[in-house]
């Protein structure tokens, strides 16, 4: 087995990714005015099964926007069939990455279904485009998985890159897209992966929500997958309890993404609720990817954007918002695969109690292997730094068929 980078080196890489994600290191967006490339236009009809590949093309993967550091791997951009919130077929794009080196472990090479964190909702923010431009802030985390010999299947989610508005934080659609990119990777000849090999899923923040949703959906949606485990960090499992923390925070832009994404997923007309300033904010924030949005729209008060002057969180207990928000709640369906949930007590975006309550709810509903890791690093991004090395070790245990641990006895 190849030697792995020392822990200090991994930490340094993660710290660099964090600096980039916070805007400490200047990072341009992925071709700000670039029109949608032809690859991302879906055909008139889609293949018969979820996860079937519509088309693929060779792509590239850089760790920096200057394109000085190219990842030496087989990289393929894919379009595949998934299922939208109405149960209808939908074309989604993503990236499948296979190391060029042989799998150093026993058995067949595993595939990691990678759920990216918040990217933005404009088409240029799609991870498959940002990886190619060297602007994907999770690129170093993905590289850490490749260094361990895993293949990575990374979804762009519905409407991110492809036509339509990205359905940001929509539970079921996100989970479907994540599961189906794994299926697409297994069916893509260029990826040279087993069609029934071992699988794991991981994600943090928005990606944590998609990963947790996939854990809940997999037993019925994809029973054929050999799912060894799911790691979900800082999961926005209850949007009603998260919205208030985003308001007037560094991450005010995420509240705009959430509103636009939920409205798109449910054909909700927001005009009766937003004033002119609110409509402009939604339009402006929708043009920016995460780093730029955080820098441009910090510490905004949503009460300035509504017709009646109430903060957006106040609407979530009223219809039509209540039903929509309730449908996004994660924790009400027990996963069958082992799960690792990580969350920092000092998270400044998603309340710690939201992640812990989700894990406890899974245990109450009969999940047997729920490990909950309480982290102590300040901030949401800091939690990611502490989380990822732990995730790497946890995944090693799953693929080595070691018995998972569970904290269900102490989460009640």
Confidence of residue 35 (pLDDT cuts 50, 70, 90): confident
What is the reported pLDDT for 407?
96
CA–CA separation, 171 and 337 (whole Å): 18
Residues 255 and 223 in one domain: no
CATH number at residue 157: 3.40.50.1820
Contact present, 207 and 176 (Cβ < 8 Å): no
Please indicate, yes or no, whether residues 254 and 203 belong to a single structural domain of this protein. Answer: no
- Average pLDDT of the chain to the nearest whole number: 92
Distance CA 223, CA 203 (A): 20
Show which of 304, 321, 338 is a domain's final residue: 321
Task: Clarify whether residues 134 and 255 are in a common domain.
Answer: no
Q: Which of 236, 265, 286 is the last residue of a domain?
A: 236
Q: Which of 220, 236, 252 is the last residue of a domain?
A: 236
Query: Is the Cβ–Cβ distance between 33 and 59 less than 8 Å?
Result: no
For the packed helices 206-221 and 171-187, what is the interaxial angle rounded to 10 degrees?
Answer: 70
Is 408 a domain residue? no
Q: Does residue 2 carry a pLDDT above 60?
A: no
Please indicate, yes or no, whether residues 12 and 132 belong to a single structural domain of this protein: yes
- The reply to whether 403 falls in a domain is no
- Positions of E strands within 295-390: 339-344, 370-375
In a domain, 252, yes or no: yes
Total Cβ atoms within 10 A of residue 219: 15
pLDDT value at residue 17: 42
Helix (H, G, I), strand (E, B) or coil at 103: coil
Judge whether 150 lies within some domain: yes
Same domain, 148 and 109: yes
Same domain for 232 and 185: yes
Work out the pLDDT band at 345, boundaries 50, 70, 90. Answer: very high
Q: Are residues 276 and 173 in the same domain?
A: no
Residue with the two structure tokens 């492809």: 162
Give tens-digit pLDDT for 109-147. 999 999 999 999 999 999 999 999 999 999 999 999 999
Burial class (CB in 10 A: 0-12, 13-18, 19+), 353: middle
Q: Are residues 269 and 201 in the same domain?
A: no
pLDDT score at 34: 66
Instruction: Clarify whether residues 85 and 208 are in a common domain.
Output: yes
What angle do the packed helices 252-265 and 239-246 form, to 10 degrees?
140
Number of structural domains, the chain? 2
List the domain range (segments joined by +) for residue 251.
239-321
Task: Write the CA distances from 391 to 12, 63, 177, 234, 383, integer angstroms.
Answer: 17, 21, 21, 13, 12
Do 143 and 49 lie in a common domain? Answer: yes
| Token pair 């170093």 in the structure block, residue | 140
Radius of gyration of the chain (CA): 20
Does the model's pTM come out above 0.85? Answer: yes
Q: Do 38 and 105 have their domain in common?
A: yes
Residue 349 lies inside a defined structural domain of this protein: no
């Amino acid at each position: 087995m190849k030697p792995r980078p020392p822990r200090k080196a991994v930490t340094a890489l993660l710290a660099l990714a964090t600096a980039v994600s916070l805007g400490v290191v200047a990072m341009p967006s992925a071709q700000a005015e670039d029109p949608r490339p032809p690859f991302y236009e879906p055909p008139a009809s889609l293949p018969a099964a979820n996860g079937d590949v519509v088309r693929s093309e060779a792509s590239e993967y850089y760790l920096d926007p200057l394109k000085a550091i190219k990842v030496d791997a087989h990289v393929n951009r894919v379009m595949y069939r998934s299922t939208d919130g109405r149960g209808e077929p939908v074309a989604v794009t993503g990236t499948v990455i296979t190391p060029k080196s042989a799998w150093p472990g026993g058995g067949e090479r595993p595939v990691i279904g990678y759920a990216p964190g918040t990217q933005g909702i404009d088409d240029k923010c799609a991870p498959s485009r940002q990886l190619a431009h060297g602007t994907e802030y999770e690129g170093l985390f993905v590289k850490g998985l490749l260094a361990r010999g895993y293949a990575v299947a990374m979804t762009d989610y519905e409407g991110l890159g492809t036509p339509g508005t990205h359905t940001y934080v929509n539970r079921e659609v996100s989970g479907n897209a994540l599961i189906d990119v794994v299926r697409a990777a297994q069916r893509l000849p260029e990826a040279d992966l087993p069609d029934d090999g071992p699988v794991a899923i991981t994600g943090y923040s928005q990606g944590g929500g998609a990963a947790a949703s996939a854990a809940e959906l997999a037993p019925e949606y994809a029973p054929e997958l050999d799912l060894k485990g799911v790691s979900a960090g800082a999961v926005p499992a209850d949007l009603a309890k998260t919205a208030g923390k985003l308001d007037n925070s560094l991450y005010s832009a995420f509240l705009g993404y959430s509103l636009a994404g939920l409205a798109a997923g449910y054909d909700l007309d927001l005009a009766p609720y937003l004033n002119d300033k609110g409509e402009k904010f939604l339009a402006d924030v929708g043009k920016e990817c995460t780093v730029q949005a955080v820098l441009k729209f910090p510490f905004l008060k949503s009460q300035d954007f509504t017709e009646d002057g109430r903060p957006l969180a106040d609407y979530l207990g009223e219809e039509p918002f209540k039903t929509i928000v309730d449908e996004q709640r994660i924790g009400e369906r027990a996963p069958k695969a082992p799960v690792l949930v990580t969350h920092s007590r000092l998270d400044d975006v998603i309340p710690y109690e939201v992640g812990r309550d989700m894990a406890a709810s899974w245990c109450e509903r009969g999940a047997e292997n729920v490990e909950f890791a309480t982290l102590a690093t300040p901030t949401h991004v800091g939690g990611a730094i502490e989380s990822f090395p732990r995730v790497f070790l946890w995944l090693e245990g799953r693929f080595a068929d070691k018995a998972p641990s569970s904290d269900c006895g102490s989460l009640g």
